[in-house]
């Protein structure tokens, strides 16, 4: 694999992450998506599969090492969103009679807060991937070949 192929892979993983984030945003908005489109665990998304698989060839680079923490944090935030969206709760007959609008509003506010955190963490992750890309672009072909 040469430098151009490494950059192509990095750009493809960035695109995969952006697609993942769009699905996460869609699910919070209440749009139907397939369960497998937004994996909760950081090693199961397309980016995670690359990062913990073929991407490990770049693991000696500082830019590569700077990616793991924001990536894990991103999925941790999404786990919170997932639990909030899909937790089941018992609603008593009395609660049904008087309504649970306040609780629904609180949940919506929590979801929006978490989604904003997720988007900010996504920006952090994309910036880290961009730095790795710049690091690889700054290397000569021989140095890249030695990594691979």
Structure tokens at 85: 């969206």
Per-residue pLDDT tens digits for 19-41: 989 988 988 888 887 766 676 78
Using a 10 angstrom Cβ sphere, with 0-12 exposed, 13-18 middle and 19 or more buried, the burial of residue 9 is middle
What mean pLDDT comes out for the span 92-110?
65
Q: Residue 34 — φ and ψ, nearest 5°?
A: -75, 145
The model's pTM: 0.82
């Amino acid at each position: 694999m040469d430098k151009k192929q490494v950059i192509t892979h990095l750009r493809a993983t960035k695109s995969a992450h952006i697609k993942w984030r769009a699905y996460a945003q869609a699910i919070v908005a209440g749009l139907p998506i397939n369960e497998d489109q937004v994996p909760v665990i950081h090693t199961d998304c397309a980016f995670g599969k690359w990062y913990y698989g073929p991407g490990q060839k770049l693991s000696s680079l500082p830019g590569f090492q700077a990616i793991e923490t924001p990536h894990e944090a991103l999925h941790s935030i999404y786990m919170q969103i997932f639990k909030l969206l899909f937790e089941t709760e018992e609603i008593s007959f009395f609660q049904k009679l008087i309504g649970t609008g306040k609780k629904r509003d609180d949940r919506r506010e929590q979801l929006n807060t978490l989604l904003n955190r997720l988007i900010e963490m996504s920006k952090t992750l994309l910036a880290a991937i961009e730095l790795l890309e710049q690091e690889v672009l700054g290397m000569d072909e021989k140095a890249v070949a030695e990594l691979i």
